Structure 1
Amino acid sequence: MTVNDITKVLEELAPLAHAEDFDNVGLLVGDHNMKVEGVLVTLDTLENVVDEAIEKRCNLIVSFHPIIFKGLKKLTGSNYVERVVIKAIANNIAIYSMHTALDNSKMGVNAKICEVLGLKNPEILIPRGKSIKKLTTYAPLADAENIKLALFKAGAGEIGKYSNCSYSLEGIGSFKAEKGANPIKGKVGEVHFEKETQINIIYSFEKEKTILKTLFDTHPYEEVAYEVLTLENTNQDLGIGMIGTLDTEMDEKEFLLLVKERMNASVIRHSRLLGKKVKKVAVLGGSGAFAIGAAKKVKADIYVTADLKYHDFYQAENQLVIADIGHFETEQFTKDLLVDYLTKKIPNFAVSLSESITNPIKYL
């Protein structure tokens, strides 16, 4: 398999188009066409991780965090980022990063936290807006069904737990083929009226290129009339953070101790305990101060995240408990998720879980 073959599989789980605009995801080092001998999955790509890849004969590193975040103006080995890139290139090792594309996946980072904590019925905490598009096109009555089926097969018409969603209207279309045209209906120079079906169908924004190509390949007309609109609807299958419930409600302190144990947290910083039972839990791996309001809005009893500043804890406002368990701690099981995913998708291929320690924060 090539690097491209494996990254295509990863992008079924987390399309790169789902990453945040500020991020740097995808293939950061290496050649898409390089043959892969083995894959090493890690949270961070550091020098010791590259050494581990060399030792395990893995020439593709799949990393959650991108080692190159901002542009590099030189490669002299003056810092850890440059040293990693130099070592990877020298040993013909490719580096691929997923980061916020996986954060925004319904089966990604936050789903894994829910699994570890035993949270049931997880849903996206902050669904992505302006990510659903609507295609409207017009086709002869006899061709409309085939066009819809082709668009469904290409991934259109899916929303939530429903597929093959569309809306159709019948009417009369008119056109006149001018000199040089090659109409499948009507004659050049004559106004033609055709019974047509108006097809309305939705799709997720990252599928647009595929959807439009399918439309053009399937539609019988020489010139296809269509329009694309971006909808205001939020996408319940795409977004950051998750909200889930415990099978049995727990005391706040009891739940925090469970979090500490299952997430291997050395310490938990939290807002004032409210003396209430915990049933509904919001989680967000990595830096999550921006989602405190969302956790309050969905009436979570506790919000588990990381990288909170002093004043962030004031936002609890006696409505919920906010818990900061550490950045690494919230994301540490991400590499297990990716190893399991790749092993199921590409059985009998060498996929290794990195044993290198990459957490830069230590506790006394």
Structure 2
Amino acid sequence: MKIGELLSAIEIFAAPELQEDYDNAGLLTGNKDSECTGVLCTLDVTVAVLHEALQYKCNLVVAHHPVIFKGLKRLNGRNYVEQVVIMAIKNDIAIYAAHTNLDNVVLGVSNTIASKLGLQNTTVLQPKSKVLRRLITFAPTDKAEAVRNAVFEAGAGHIGNYSECSFNSQGTGTFKAGKGADPYVGEIGRRHEEQETKVEIVYPFYLEKQVVKTLLASHPYEEVAYDIFTMENAHYGIGSGIIGELPAGMAEESFLKMLKDRFHLPAVRHTPLRGRPVKKVAVCGGAGSFLIKTALSNGADIYISADIKYHEFFDAEGRMVIADIGHYESEQFAVDLLRDLLVEKFPTFAVLKTSVNTNPVQFFT
């Protein structure tokens, strides 16, 4: 099994192109063409995690957080990042990170929080726009179905829970083949009219190379006419955070206790309680203060995230409870998500979950 084959399962689920501009997700050390001896999944990559990988003969470590986030100017082992990189290279361990791309899919990190809380009717809290593109092409009517099916196979045509979505209209195309052309229909030097079907299909931008390549390969014309437009529409399967509802309303104190128990929290930092039931819940794994106002405008009774600063707690305005459960704690189940993705695709391959607690924040109780 090649390392790249294993990583493809993650990248189909959370395309690397979905990571934020500031991020550094992807293969950080190692070669995707190397044979894989085993996989160790973790939230963070530390020296202790690499020792564990060596113990279990795993030469691929899949993490949520990229250990290399900024440029490295030296490799002297002066800090944990340099120590990890040096150790990985010396021992031929590949390190891969699925970070904000894993955050930005509807079944990603934030959904693991929602699942633990039993939320229903979940949707992306802040959907991204300009993710979708529209492909328009023109094919001879008797070949349109073959072209359409090929583009569907390449991943286009998905809208929400529907697949193979397209719009088709009929018309007449004209062209005159010049010297040196090899026309599918018509004669060189004479204008030809052909009954054509205009096919319109949407796809996410990160599939563009694959979609266009498939279009050109499946289309009968020597010169394929097609247009691509970026759409302003929000993509409700891509974006930040998750919002959903509890099966039944809960008292705020009871909800916070459930939150504490299910996420194994020593404490929960939160804004003053409102004295009203909790029904609508918004969540975001990791640092999520940027979604406070979005959660508020969507009518959330409580917003659960991490790394909330003192002054940002005031943004609840007494209309919503903000609960900060800690960065590690909010993303701890991302490890299970990564492992489950790989086990589902490769059930007989060695995919392990780290036993190392990489949380750098400790509590004195």
TM-score normalised by the chain length of structure 1: 0.98
Give the distance between the partners of 2:218 and 2:341, measured in 1 at CA: 34
CA shift for structure 1 position 164: 1.1
Q: Which aligned pairs between 1:197-208 and structure 2 lie closer than 5 A?
A: 197-208=197-208
Corresponding residue of 1:173: 173
Corresponding residue of 1:333: 333
Task: Tell me the alpha carbon deviations over residues 100-150 of structure 1, each in whole angstroms, 9 at most, x when there is no partner.
Answer: 111012221111111111112221111111001000111111111111111
| Pair 1:87 & 2:101 matched | no
Task: Tell me the alpha carbon deviations over residues 306-346 of structure 1, each in whole angstroms, 9 at most, x when there is no partner.
Answer: 00011101110122111111000100111012222211211
Q: Unaligned stretches of 5+ in structure 1?
A: none
Give the distance between the partners of 1:343 and 1:137, measured in 2 at CA: 39
Give the distance between the partners of 1:350 and 1:116, measured in 2 at CA: 26
CA shift for structure 1 position 214: 0.9
Corresponding residue of 2:290: 290
Contact 2:9–2:341 (CA under 8 A) maintained in structure 1: no
Give the distance between the partners of 1:223 and 1:12, measured in 2 at CA: 31
| Pair 1:310 & 2:310 matched | yes
CA shift for structure 1 position 290: 0.3
Q: Which aligned pairs between 1:246-265 and structure 2 lie closer than 5 A?
A: 246-265=246-265
Give the distance between the partners of 2:40 and 2:131, measured in 1 at CA: 32
SS of equivalent residue, structure 2 residue 274 = coil
Give the distance between the partners of 1:49 and 1:354, measured in 2 at CA: 7
Corresponding residue of 1:42: 42
CA shift for structure 1 position 56: 1.1
Give the distance between the partners of 2:69 and 2:350, measured in 1 at CA: 28
| Pair 1:30 & 2:30 matched | yes
Give the distance between the partners of 2:94 and 2:221, measured in 1 at CA: 45
Give the distance between the partners of 1:363 and 1:29, measured in 2 at CA: 33
Give the distance between the partners of 1:54 and 1:120, measured in 2 at CA: 41
Corresponding residue of 1:58: 58
| Pair 1:319 & 2:319 matched | yes
Contact 2:41–2:335 (CA under 8 A) maintained in structure 1: yes
Corresponding residue of 1:228: 228
Q: Which aligned pairs between 1:86-105 and structure 2 lie closer than 5 A?
A: 86-105=86-105
SS of equivalent residue, structure 1 residue 123 = strand
SS of equivalent residue, structure 1 residue 319 = coil
Partner amino acid, structure 1, of 2:351: V
Give the distance between the partners of 1:222 and 1:4, measured in 2 at CA: 34
Q: Which aligned pairs between 1:130-149 and structure 2 lie closer than 5 A?
A: 130-149=130-149
Task: Tell me the alpha carbon deviations over residues 65-100 of structure 1, each in whole angstroms, 9 at most, x when there is no partner.
Answer: 000001111111111101000001111110000011
Contact 2:306–2:327 (CA under 8 A) maintained in structure 1: yes
TM-score normalised by the chain length of structure 2: 0.98
| Pair 1:214 & 2:214 matched | yes
Task: Tell me the alpha carbon deviations over residues 170-209 of structure 1, each in whole angstroms, 9 at most, x when there is no partner.
Answer: 1111111111111111111111111111111111111111
CA shift for structure 1 position 30: 0.2
Partner amino acid, structure 1, of 2:119: L
Partner amino acid, structure 2, of 1:198: K
Give the distance between the partners of 2:333 and 2:100, measured in 1 at CA: 15
Partner amino acid, structure 2, of 1:344: E
SS of equivalent residue, structure 2 residue 210 = helix
Task: Tell me the alpha carbon deviations over residues 157-176 of structure 1, each in whole angstroms, 9 at most, x when there is no partner.
Answer: 10101111111111111111
Give the distance between the partners of 2:237 and 2:95, measured in 1 at CA: 28
Give the distance between the partners of 1:198 and 1:351, measured in 2 at CA: 47
Give the 4+ runs in structure 1 shifted more than 6 A.
none
Partner amino acid, structure 2, of 1:257: K
RMSD after superposition: 0.9
Q: Unaligned stretches of 5+ in structure 2?
A: none
Corresponding residue of 1:195: 195
Contact 2:250–2:277 (CA under 8 A) maintained in structure 1: yes
Task: Tell me the alpha carbon deviations over residues 21-63 of structure 1, each in whole angstroms, 9 at most, x when there is no partner.
Answer: 1110110000111111110000000111111111111110001
SS of equivalent residue, structure 1 residue 245 = strand
Deviates more, 1:12-21 or 1:55-64: 12-21
Corresponding residue of 1:357: 357
Corresponding residue of 1:342: 342
Partner amino acid, structure 1, of 2:57: R
Partner amino acid, structure 1, of 2:61: I
Give the distance between the partners of 2:253 and 2:353, measured in 1 at CA: 33
Q: Which aligned pairs between 1:123-162 and structure 2 lie closer than 5 A?
A: 123-162=123-162
CA shift for structure 1 position 268: 1.1
SS of equivalent residue, structure 1 residue 355 = coil
SS of equivalent residue, structure 2 residue 286 = strand
